[in-house]
Amino acid sequence: MTDYNTSLFRRLTWEGTVPLEVRVDPKELPANSNRGLECYYVQAPRISYLPLIVPEIRRFLMDVVFDEIAAKSLKDEEWWFESEEGTLLKWHWPIGVIYDNHTISNTLRSPSPPSSSTATPMRLILHLAAPPNDKLFLSPTIEACKQAFMNQLKEADFIRWGNTRRMTSLRKADQDGLWEGIREHSFDDFWRVASKLMPSVGSSMRPSSPPVPGSSLARPVSTDNVNADRDSAYSIRSVPVRIYLPDGPVLQEVAPPLLEDGTPQTLSHFFSTNLPLLFPPQPPPPPPSRHNPNPQAPSIPALAHTLIQGVIAPPEAELAWLGACMAGADGWLNICIAINRV
């Protein structure tokens, strides 16, 4: 059973949105279009996908911008997006990841830091024909996006549990219900099914310690505790993690929830191990002396920080908790890396 705090953070993640400014490529506007209104603003859900906002954009363009006769020749499946800088946008990435990755890349290119903390709209260029399918690696349709989403869910399921039984045992109606929950942006409908796939974060926060053999204080472990431990975010094989580097590749790393000594793995430990040049490990404190009986370890500033669902994640955050509460709808914990300004 999902506890209140887990459900709260999942809902906060679900309700996150980003501002988008969508402008039709002026060279592709149909004849007799209203060229003063070809720009559309939308507050898009972070967990959604670009193909799912196309119907809303199309309704606006048909009602306000396009000439009715000329618009009949347009086909939604040929629409595709670029950023204002000319970067091809990936249909199978969650919109929130596209926004965060773009914002970070723009910050690196900017000579000065942003003057405001308010989220500014990401400017998208909408093309109405000739999608570059060889570069998109995916046909720009809602059905193709659904198939890609289901494949991402299965891959995350395997990484998390070591098999895909939880996903493949769902009835087809439930599998379709996951996608419909995203299309309709219904938190309750989506999580009614997704809760069968995702781990829980209970009050124990980690697997129960086994009783000491021969101890008179040892007692039988209840079935409820065994089942809770089995489904716990701290009992999975690995957190499905993807790391998005600015203007760089997307990395996947093995991310066990617990370290060898049984302590939860934190973001700080994970990144100092996997990206030590950006997140250098903190050295141990020097030995105590008469003049300094409680020495502190020298502080080494990180050269980067992490962004998860648009939020700067604290280094001490535990991967297991993040994977259970702040993963995307596809089950992946998407972490964007932002470079610190010096």
CA distance to 29, 39, 241, per residue, from 72 (Å):
13, 20, 43
By residue range, what is the domain housing residue 8?
4-136
- With respect to residue 111, please indicate whether it lies within any of the assigned structural domains: yes
pLDDT tops 60 at residue 212: no
- With respect to residue 258, please indicate whether it lies within any of the assigned structural domains: yes
The CATH number of the domain where 321 resides is what?
3.10.20.90
16, two tokens: 């996150």
Domain boundary among 117, 136, 155: 136
- With respect to residue 24, please indicate whether it lies within any of the assigned structural domains: yes
- With respect to residue 311, please indicate whether it lies within any of the assigned structural domains: yes
Domain boundary among 102, 136, 170: 136
Contact between residue 315 and residue 304 where contact means Cβ atoms under 8 Å apart:
no
% of the chain surpassing 70 pLDDT: 88
Domain boundary among 136, 155, 170: 136
In a shared domain, residues 131 and 245: no
pLDDT tops 80 at residue 140: no
Amino acid at 256: P
> SS3 for 99?
helix
Reported as a single tens digit per residue, the pLDDT across 7-36 is: 999 999 999 999 999 999 988 887 777 777
pLDDT tops 80 at residue 238: yes
- With respect to residue 158, please indicate whether it lies within any of the assigned structural domains: no
Count of domains for the chain: 2
Please give the Cα distance from 54 to 304 (Å, whole number).
34
DSSP string covering 201-240, please?
Answer: --SS-SPPPPPPTT-TT--PPPHHHHHHHHTBTTSSS---
Query: Strands 17-24 and 122-127, how do they pair?
Result: parallel
The CATH number of the domain where 35 resides is what?
3.10.20.620
- With respect to residue 214, please indicate whether it lies within any of the assigned structural domains: no
Q: Which class for 175: exposed (0-12), middle (13-18), buried (19 or more C-beta within 10 A)?
A: middle
Please give the Cα distance from 189 to 115 (Å, whole number).
40
- With respect to residue 207, please indicate whether it lies within any of the assigned structural domains: no
- With respect to residue 268, please indicate whether it lies within any of the assigned structural domains: yes
In a shared domain, residues 17 and 130: yes
Provide mean pLDDT across the span 88-105: 94
3-state secondary structure 231-283: CECCCCCCCCEEEECCCCCEEECCCCCECCCCCECEHHHHHHHHCCCCCCCCC
Give the global pTM.
0.86
